[in-house]
Each structure stands twice: as C-alpha cells, then as structure tokens.
Amino acid sequence: MNTLVEKVQRELIQAIENDDLVLPTLPEVALKVREAAEDPDISISALSKVIGNDAALTARIIKVVNSPLLRTAKEITDLQMAISRLGINYTCNLATGLAMEQMFQATSDVVDRKMREVWNKSTEIAGICHVLCRHYTRLMPDQATLAGLVHQIGILPILTYAEEHNELLSDSISLNHVIEKIHPIIGDKILRAWEFPEPIAIVPSQYLDFERDSAKVDYVDIVQVATLQSYLGTTHPYTQLDWGRIPAFGKLGLDPNVDMQADEDLSAAMEAAMSMLQ
C-alpha cells in the first residue's frame, strides 16, 4: 500500500474516531418522510402532501408503482393512489432511498462521474435485492431495496475528501483502494447517525464479509448475494471466489451455480426492478 493511501486512511480513520468527520445529512424531503413514517397515525393524504412537495420524487414513486413488477391493470397517475397501492411503510422506505440520489452530485467532473457510477451500481444492486427478497425470503422487499441503495453510502465522504485533495483525485488506483478499505466503516457510521434500523445499519460493514454466517437470512445476506450476482459475466475478482463456500447462498436457498439472469422470469423481474429505480 503506498504512502498516499496510508496517509488518507490514517486521516479518515482518525477523523471517524474523533467524530471530526463531517457526515452527509439526509436530503430534506427524506428527513420529512422519515418523520412522517414515525407517526403511527399518519394518513395517506398527509404523507402525499410531504412527498408531493418534491415533484421529481413524486414522479419517481408513480413510475415505480406502474413498473412491470408492481403495476395493476389500471395505470396509476396520482400520488395518493400510488401510496395507497404501495402502502405507507413501503412508500416511506422507497422515498427515503430514492431521495438520496440528490446527494450523489459533486462540483468537479471527475468526482461527479464517480458518484454517478456509485449511484448506478447501488440502484442495480437494489433492484436485484428486491427480486431476491421477494423470491427467496419472507423479509420486506422495500427494506431490501433500501439496503441495496445505501450499502455504499460510506463512499460519499471519501469522494468529498478527494475533491479537496488533488493528489488523491489524480491517482484513481489509490482512490479506489481507499474507498474499498474505508467505506464500510463510514457507511455504518452514517446510517447510525441517520437512525436507520439496525438490520440495515450493519449492511455497509458486513456485506463484503463472505464468511459471515448469521443465524438466519437477513438484509446483509441479500445485499451480499445481489452484489455477487451483479458481477456475473465479468472478470471482477468476486467472480473468482468459490461461491459454494459462501453461507449467504444457503440461507437464501439459492444454488450458487445458478445464474439468475439465465432464468427468464427472474431475469425479467431483475431488469424491471433495476429500471424502476433509475
């Protein structure tokens, strides 16, 4: 590991330990949605007023409800009808996840490109998480989707740091090394600061532990398998691992040798899930 990587990691880890690292805050609309979700008596019309203030988010939720995965015979064009169809909890988790796209923007072109790349990968994995959850578990697909959307959230402060340190920005190998090493620790810290539920807050730091074997299937397992599936057909190092030795597959009841994309129904469902989030 070169001295630049060591220096950056040391500084970032020290900043985390001293609570000096400026963690990103949730977009305002996501904060309001989370606040609304905490009210057990929230009505569909009250939630639709909160979300309705953000035209882009409203359009995204209506797009999701009309996607091939969720649509009914009649097209839904109204936010209240969309919330009614999805349910309040599902809508709140979806709105929180989708609102985060606003955070993946930067002032410099290089960082902006990297942030787009991270967000696009997160939506791809979130789509696969949605399908895995629905087909192989009894967990909540909206929570699995949210877990997929936030599993790389720890990359944001690293890219913000890189924007202010040209020597790191101009060395993509070192930058990727730092991201790989540090983003899981920062990710957990961000999700805890945002008061995300524990089963999702632990995802960033644990989804790359391929020996992890929890008592029962959870959102970490789903994100882990979705991440591996997303690299099928590529030369990524994860495809060289012995997937048969990864406990998450067994807990999902999924044969590690099966390519989900080779199954027409699953492949169509994954494509639909990914496109509804983009």
What DSSP state is assigned to residue 149?
H
89 is a domain residue:
no
Judge whether 252 and 137 are in contact, CB under 8 Å: yes
189 is a domain residue:
yes
224-228, 246-250, 266-270: which range is least confident on average?
266-270
78 is a domain residue:
no
18 is a domain residue:
yes
Residue 17's CATH number: 1.10.3210.10
- Find the mean pLDDT for residues 138-151: 96
44 is a domain residue:
no
Q: What is the pLDDT of residues 182-214, one digit of tens each?
A: 899 999 989 998 999 999 999 999 999 999 999
Mean pLDDT of the chain: 91
Q: What is the pLDDT of residues 97-110, one digit of tens each?
A: 999 999 998 888 88
97 is a domain residue:
no
Q: Structurally, how many domains does the chain consist of?
A: 1
Judge whether 83 and 47 are in contact, CB under 8 Å: yes
Q: What is the pLDDT of residues 22-45, one digit of tens each?
A: 788 999 999 999 999 899 999 999
**What's the CA gap between 126 and 146, in Å, rounded?**
7
- Find the mean pLDDT for residues 215-231: 96
Structure tokens at 53: 């203030």
Residues in the chain: 278
30 is a domain residue:
no
What pLDDT does residue 272 have?
79
> Which letter, b or e, does each residue of 175-189 get, where b requires 16 or more Cβ atoms within 10 Å of its Cβ?
bebbbebbbbebbbb
128 is a domain residue:
yes
Quick one: how far is CA 130 from the chain centroid?
Answer: 11
Domain span at 20: 3-24+106-277
